């Protein structure tokens, strides 16, 4: 009797072999499982837990800054995998001088989007003052993502120049110059590389190219003077040094739109007032005054802003508006010597000499060595006919600031009018010591020498 189990109605004889279809199914199922395991492993190794944005103490920040940074933090919290959100938060923090927190944000942005050169570049700027080696690594990372990143190569070149890695520095700076031919900094840096590398003729050519682009830059002419002196061209060296001495010693600015974008995000009063001062210095009084007025609508806690605005309004001849601003300022900030000084200057121009004297005296009370306030007080006293107190104030002004030549000449004029020419001459001699060749002082000295001593002085000498 057969002991084999019965076949089901769906079974059929396979000749002693396993059924073919289940075999293919098992193989396919195994491949699927294997792929799932591999993909899971890849996902496990690539998984990055979401990081939280850095905590920032906003208790001392003004409302605008606090709101701006808080909004950017919330965007990161809501989209922790968004590189742009991390980058924006980093830029806001960097703009307001939270460099450590900004560096963390730029690092996260770069991890999330490794092809964007801006994030390692900005990260480099946050650490450049404290860790130049790390800054160089980050700049190279940025350049790796964008080979024509001229400003990054420029900064890297200057870092290498400071480390005396001349060959590497030159390679970066040449590419920076080719990327941005109109940029001034690569030219000046290349001149220094050539000079330090013992190639004075090449250094001179680079420096001359820089001077042609910006003849008002003092450091370029100083470098040219040094190169000309070393190569034996003393006439050219003297000429360049005279040009340099006639120019203000201003810093060489970076032509850097990325850094400029960061700085444009600043919202603090101090930074805005600096921007306003730059506008005024460039002659753009309209925009400068408007910016200062905007600052004061939001924040009246900084006396310097009132003082700058009052001075600007005075300089454009709007004395009435200046007085409104400065009167308000003196009420809000009665302990600000600068505000009292500026108020006195505006009152003087309005012809209100008694009120001007009071303001200058308030400034001096708060700051006894305030040389310009003492000088203006002396001028005001002369307008009021009080030459005795005017002379005393002039003397105090030059004691506080020995280089204040108008203080010497003002006092000397009073002494001459009183017949005390010897005393006037002594003051003018002191003025020549601090300002040799001053034409005004020289003219007064010549006039004194052409007149004889008065009978009163002769009598005093005989006594």
Last residue of a domain, one of 367, 384, 412: 367
d(CA 130, CA 152): 18
pTM of the full structure: 0.62
- For residue 346, being part of any structural domain is answered with yes
Q: Which two tokens stand for residue 193?
A: 């590389």
Structure tokens at 334: 């009665």
Taking CB atoms within 8 Å and a gap of at least 24, the contacts of 186-194 are 186/150, 186/154, 186/157, 187/213, 188/217, 188/219, 188/220, 188/223, 188/252, 189/154, 189/157, 189/158, 189/161, 191/223, 191/227, 192/161, 192/223, 193/161, 193/166, 193/169
Does any domain span residue 179? no
Q: Which of these, 318, 324, 257, lies nearest to 296 by C-alpha position?
A: 324
CB 177 within 8 A of CB 183: yes
Asked whether residue 284 is assigned to any structural domain, the reply reads: yes
CB-neighbour burial class of residue 260 (10 A; exposed 0-12, middle 13-18, buried 19+): exposed
Nearest to 443 by CA among 428, 463, 461, 430: 428
Confidence band for 270, pLDDT divided at 50, 70 and 90: confident
> 116: domain range?
60-146
Mean pLDDT of 23-51: 52
386 inside domain: no
Which of residues 367, 386, 415 is at a domain's end? 367
Enter the tokens of residue 289: 């005054």
Task: Tell me whether residue 182 is in a domain.
Answer: no
Tokens standing for residue 238: 């003297």
Say if 396 falls within a structural domain.
no
CATH of the domain at 301: 1.25.40.10
218, 206 contact by CB (below 8 A): no
Query: Is the residue at 65 inside a domain?
Result: yes
User: pLDDT digits over 82-126, tens only?
Assistant: 999 999 999 999 999 999 999 999 999 999 999 999 999 999 999
Q: How many domains does the chain have?
A: 2
Tell me what the pLDDT averaged over the chain comes to. 88
Query: In the listed set 325, 346, 367, which residue is the last one of a domain according to the structure?
Result: 367
Q: What are the backbone dihedrals phi and psi of residue 197, each rounded to the nearest 5 degrees, phi first?
A: -85, 5
Is 193 a member of any domain?
no
Find out whether 127 and 155 touch, Cβ atoms under 8 Å: no
Among 185-194, 367-376, 438-447, the least confident range: 438-447
Whether 243 and 255 have beta carbons less than 8 Å apart is answered as no
């Amino acid at each position: 009797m057969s002991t084999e189990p019965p076949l089901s109605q769906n079974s059929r004889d396979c000749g002693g072999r396993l059924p073919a279809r289940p075999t293919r199914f098992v193989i396919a199922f195994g491949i699927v499982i294997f792929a799932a395991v591999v993909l899971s492993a890849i996902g496990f190794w690539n998984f990055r837990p979401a990081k939280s944005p850095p905590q920032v103490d906003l208790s001392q920040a003004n409302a605008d800054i606090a709101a701006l940074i808080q909004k950017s933090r919330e965007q990161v919290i809501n989209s922790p995998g968004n590189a742009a959100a991390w980058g924006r938060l980093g830029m806001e923090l960097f703009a307001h001088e939270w460099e450590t927190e900004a560096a963390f944000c730029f690092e996260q942005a770069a991890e999330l989007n490794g092809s964007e050169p801006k994030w390692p570049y900005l990260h480099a700027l946050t650490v450049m003052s404290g860790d130049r080696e790390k800054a160089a690594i980050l700049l190279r990372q940025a350049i790796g993502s964008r080979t024509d990143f001229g400003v990054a190569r420029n900064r890297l070149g200057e870092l290498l120049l400071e480390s005396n890695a001349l060959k590497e520095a030159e390679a970066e700076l040449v590419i920076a110059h080719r990327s941005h031919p109109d940029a001034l900094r690569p030219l000046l840096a290349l001149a220094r590389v050539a000079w330090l590398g013992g190639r004075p003729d090449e250094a001179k050519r680079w420096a001359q190219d820089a001077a042609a682009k910006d003849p008002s830059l003092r450091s370029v002419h100083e470098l040219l003077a040094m190169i000309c002196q070393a190569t034996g061209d003393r006439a050219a060296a003297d000429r360049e040094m005279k040009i340099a001495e006639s120019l203000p010693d201003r810093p060489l600015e970076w032509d850097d739109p990325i850094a400029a974008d960061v700085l444009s995000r600043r919202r603090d009063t101090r930074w805005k007032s600096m921007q306003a001062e730059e506008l005024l210095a460039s002659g753009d009084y309209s925009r400068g005054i408007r910016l200062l007025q905007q600052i004061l609508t939001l924040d009246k806690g900084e006396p310097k802003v009132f003082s700058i605005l009052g001075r600007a309004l005075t300089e454009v001849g709007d004395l009435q508006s200046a007085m409104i601003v400065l009167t308000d300022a003196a009420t809000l900030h009665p302990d600000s010597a600068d505000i009292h000084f500026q108020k006195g200057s505006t009152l003087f121009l309005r012809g209100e000499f008694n009120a001007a004297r009071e303001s200058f005296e308030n400034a001096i009370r708060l700051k006894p060595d305030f040389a310009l306030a003492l000088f203006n007080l002396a001028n005001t006293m002369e307008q009021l006919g009080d030459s005795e107190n005017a002379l005393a104030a002039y003397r105090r002004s030059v004691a506080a600031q020995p280089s204040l030549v108008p203080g010497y000449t003002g006092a000397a004029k009073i002494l001459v009018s009183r017949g005390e020419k010897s005393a006037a001459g002594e003051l003018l001699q002191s003025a020549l010591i601090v300002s040799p060749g001053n034409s005004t002082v020289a003219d007064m000295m010549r006039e004194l020498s052409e007149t004889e001593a008065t009978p009163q002085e002769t009598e005093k000498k005989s006594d």
